[in-house]
Amino acid sequence: MYAQQARMNANKKNLRSAGLRLLQTYADLSDAGQHLLDELLSGGLPLQWAHYPPDDAIDLSSGYQWFYHSHSPEDRPEASEHGHIHLFARRPLWSRRLRSHSEIEFRRICGSENTQTHTCHLLAIGLNAQGLPISLFTVNSWVTGDEMLSTKLTMQLLASIQLKTGHHGVDAVMESVVHLCLPEIQRVLAQRDATLASFTGANKLQDERLELLSELRIDLDEKLRCLL
């Protein structure tokens, strides 16, 4: 009982720390008169489909990376986002775990084999025009051209995420949002798996009829009100 209470207190403290870090990051940007993406875009507008930064933002120490891009309005007519950030984990973080029972079973269900790519896609986070995170979503493997991992391993990797790519504002926001929204991420990954399970096809992860697998709106203001 005491151990459980200690874990709950530690979790609440970690969530509060993530919330304060998120608020401080945006406060610092506001004080400097800057947008979260100013450094990436050099103060200009993003070119649709271009990667920012061009070769991705990579933390070689932790093994995580990300890039920002935006789609054309015609490509995602229902979206209210300005663009989104794709989060990845590099192969050393997960390659040995592909032999675990959960990963073997996940590949059997999806009809997929190990493609020997260097990264796996963890999650995408949508941003509005003000640079505030507004959604979480997942895409099929063919969209990003890399691996997809089971929900269990994806959650483990996201719960441990550390980003020091040199893009301090985006790193802080992405880390904070992931830690604040782990329950929502669990839900969006469960939706992803349900979409894959209900789709018939030999290799679901490479079937271009499946693109956006799941999406969930998030309200960070409400989360922060409950924490702080």
Digit-coded pLDDT (tens) for 176-208: 999 999 999 999 999 999 999 999 888 899 999
What pLDDT is recorded for position 205?
93
What pLDDT is recorded for position 2?
54
State how far the Cα of 148 lies from the Cα of 121, in Å rounded to an integer.
6
Q: Would you place residue 107 in the very low, low, confident or very high pLDDT band (cuts 50, 70, 90)?
A: confident
Which residue in 168, 166, 170, 149 sits closest to 158, CA to CA? 149
Task: Supply the mean pLDDT for the chain.
Answer: 90
In 111-162, which residue ranges form alpha helices assigned H by DSSP?
A: 141-144, 151-159
- Model pTM? 0.92
What pLDDT is recorded for position 1?
61
What pLDDT is recorded for position 130?
93
H or E stretch covering 183: helix 182-198
Q: What percent of the chain clears pLDDT 70, i.e. is strictly above it?
A: 90
Whether the predicted pLDDT of 10 surpasses 90: no
Which residue's structure tokens are 């995170």? 133
